[in-house]
Chain A
Amino acid sequence: GNSVTQMEGPVTLSEEAFLTINCTYTATGYPSLFWYVQYPGEGLQLLLKATKADDKGSNKGFEATYRKETTSFHLEKGSVQVSDSAVYFCALSVSRAGNQFYFGTGTSLTVIP
Chain B
Amino acid sequence: DSGVTQTPKHLITATGQRVTLRCSPRSGDLSVYWYQQSLDQGLQFLIHYYNGEERAKGNILERFSAQQFPDLHSELNLSSLELGDSALYFCASSVGLAGYSSSGANVLTFGAGSRLTVL
Within B69-91, the residues touching A (CB, 8 Å) are 90
Tell me which residues across on chain A come within 8 A of B45, comparing CB atoms: 100-101, 103
A93 part of interface (Cβ distance < 8 Å): yes
B118: interface (CB < 8 Å) = no
Interface size for chain B: under 10, 10 to 19, 20 to 34, or 35 or more residues?
20 to 34
Given A93-B99, A105-B42, A106-B42, A43-B90 contact (CB < 8 Å): yes
Consensus secondary structure, chain B interface: strand
Q: Size range of the interface on A?
A: 20 to 34
A60 contacts the other chain (Cβ, under 8 Å)? Answer: no
Verify A99–B56 contact, CB threshold 8 A: yes
- Which residues on A sit within 8 Å (CB–CB) of B104? 51
Tell me whether B109 is interfacial, beta carbon within 8 Å. Answer: yes
